[in-house]
Amino acid sequence: MAKPLMARATAVWLVDNTTISFKQIADFVEMHELEVQGIADGDVAAGVKGFDPIANNQLTQDEIDAAEKNPLHKLKLKFNAAAQGEEKRRGPRYTPLSKRQDRPASILWLVKFHPELADSQIARLVGTTKPTIQAIRERTHWNISNIQPIDPVALGLCKQSELDAAVQKAAAKKAKEGEAMSDDERRKLLSTEQSLGQEAEPRIPTAIEGLETFSLSGGSDDDEEEEKEYDADSLFNLPENQGDDEDDQP
């Protein structure tokens, strides 16, 4: 259920001007029942002026009368046809104070490893502004020499699913525009799950490979003699009768 405007002031008015139960008022303004009771006792919302929900087109008198007669009746906001289809305004993502100092590092990471992302996408992912992104792109940021690129997912500034969705959107836009993409760019545009599931690409053999079986003498492998196996003792120990033969010679 939608919450009324100026909920606490509305609760003050309902407590002062109706006989509706504390539970009904608490459910309507999304407050705790004890807090509404504190308003009635004067311990809560002291000095708050009541906000008339009837005059401000949030409740009807018939709705209040029904709630006063039936303690189980739940108050409902008055239907406003003009508000139908109105979307809530979406502002920049809120970033906690403890993580705001990490935003330049995440921006640098996105600019470096995902250059296909637009500034508006980066701004939504990490909750920053376009001038800051532009300064890091052009390396004119005041602290650019001390900024190291760090994954915004690892910093907790956005979710992996949000990053993958932004990358996929950028890929679709680039494909629609018909721009040629290199293999590295295509790899960057893949999500984490897709890139891990890909098969290994064939590797081009280097100039050294293939020479391993080539014979330096120019002959074939059949013409080469098999290498003889020598025993280490046979190389360093002379035969027993070789010394005797040398002594017998004149």
The domain segmentation of the chain, as residue ranges, is 7-83, 97-195
pLDDT of 217 reads 47
Residue in 78, 77, 75 with CA at minimum distance from that of residue 27: 75
| Residues of the chain with confidence (pLDDT) below 50 | 83, 85-87, 89, 180, 208, 211-217, 219-225, 243, 246, 250
Residue keyed to tokens 């403890």: 98
What is the separation, in whole angstroms, between the first and last Cα of the chain? Answer: 123
DSSP alpha helices (H): ranges in the chain? Answer: 7-17, 22-29, 33-41, 61-69, 103-113, 119-126, 130-137, 152-155, 160-177, 183-188, 192-197, 232-236, 240-248
Q: What is the pLDDT of residue 214?
A: 45
Can you give 25-64 as a three-state secondary structure string? HHHHHCCCHHHHHHHHHCCCCCCCCCCCCCCCCCCCHHHH
Residue 196 contacts by C-beta under 8 Å, 6 or more apart in sequence? none
Buried b (16+ CB within 10 A) or exposed e, 158-182: beeebbbebbeebbeebeeeeeeee
pLDDT at 239: 56
Q: Can you give the pLDDT at residue 184?
A: 57
> What pLDDT sits at residue 158?
87
Spatial separation of the C-alpha atoms in residues 168 and 191, rounded to whole Å: 7
**Three-state SS at 3:** coil
Cα–Cα distance for residue pair 207/220, rounded to 1 Å = 20
